[in-house]
Chains A and B, each alone.
Chain A
Amino acid sequence: MIKNYKNVGIVGMPPLEIIRQLNADNITIHDLDTPMIRADIELTAPYLPKVYCAILRTVVLNALHLHLEAIYIDVGPGKCDCALHVATVLEDMLAIPVIKTRNEDTTGFGNPICRTRMDLVQKFEQITEGVKTAEKSAKTPPECTPAAGFWGVPPRDFSILELFPATTHIYGWTRCMENKTPADHELELHYNPEVPTVFYAQSFCAKTALARHLALKHPHGLFLDSDVTAGGSAKAKIQAFLELSGVY
Chain B
Amino acid sequence: MILGDFGTSYSKFLDLSAARPEPYIIPSKTTTVENRVTIATGHNGKRFSDRYVNELTVLARGGEQLITENDFVLLDCGSRDIKFIHYIDGRLNDMGWNSECGASMGFTIELLARYYDLDYHVLPVPDRPFSVTCGVLGMSRIFDDVVSGTPDAEAVARFVMGIAINAYRFAGSPTKLYLSGGLCDNPLFVQSFPCQVVPLGRFVLLEGLKAIARKDSNPQNSKAQRH
> What is the bound-complex CA distance between A222 and B96, given in angstroms?
9
- Name the one of B91, B96, B100 contacting A237, with C-beta atoms under 8 angstroms: B96
Chain B residues with Cβ below 8 Å from A138 are none
Inter-chain pairs besides A236-B57, A240-B60, 16 sampled, C-beta below 8 Å: A233-B97, A233-B98, A233-B99, A233-B100, A236-B56, A236-B97, A237-B95, A237-B97, A239-B54, A240-B54, A241-B92, A244-B60, A244-B85, A244-B92, A244-B95, A245-B92
Chain B residues with Cβ below 8 Å from A108 are none
Chain B residues with Cβ below 8 Å from A220 are 91-92
Chain A residues with Cβ below 8 Å from B76 are none
Chain B residues with Cβ below 8 Å from A236 are 54-57, 97
Chain A interface residue bracket vs B: 10 to 19
Chain B residues with Cβ below 8 Å from A222 are 94-95
- Name the one of B55, B95, B98, B99 contacting A241, with C-beta atoms under 8 angstroms: B95
Chain B residues with Cβ below 8 Å from A241 are 92, 95
Chain B interface residue bracket vs A: 10 to 19
Contact (Cβ within 8 A) A244 B99: no
| B52-92 interface bits toward A, Cβ cutoff 8 Å, 1 = contact, 0 = none | 00111100100000000000000000000101010000011
> What is the bound-complex CA distance between A243 and B41, given in angstroms?
15
> What is the bound-complex CA distance between A176 and B56, given in angstroms?
32
Contact (Cβ within 8 A) B56 A240: yes
> What is the bound-complex CA distance between A232 and B94, given in angstroms?
18
Query: Does A77 sit at the interface, judged by CB under 8 A?
Result: no
Cβ < 8 Å to B, chain A residues 198-248: 220, 222, 231-233, 236-237, 239-241, 243-245
| A78-90 interface bits toward B, Cβ cutoff 8 Å, 1 = contact, 0 = none | 0000000000000
Closest B residue to A240 by beta carbon equals B56
- Beyond A222-B94, A233-B81, whether A240 also contacts B57 by CB under 8 A is yes
> What is the bound-complex CA distance between A88 and B100, given in angstroms?
32
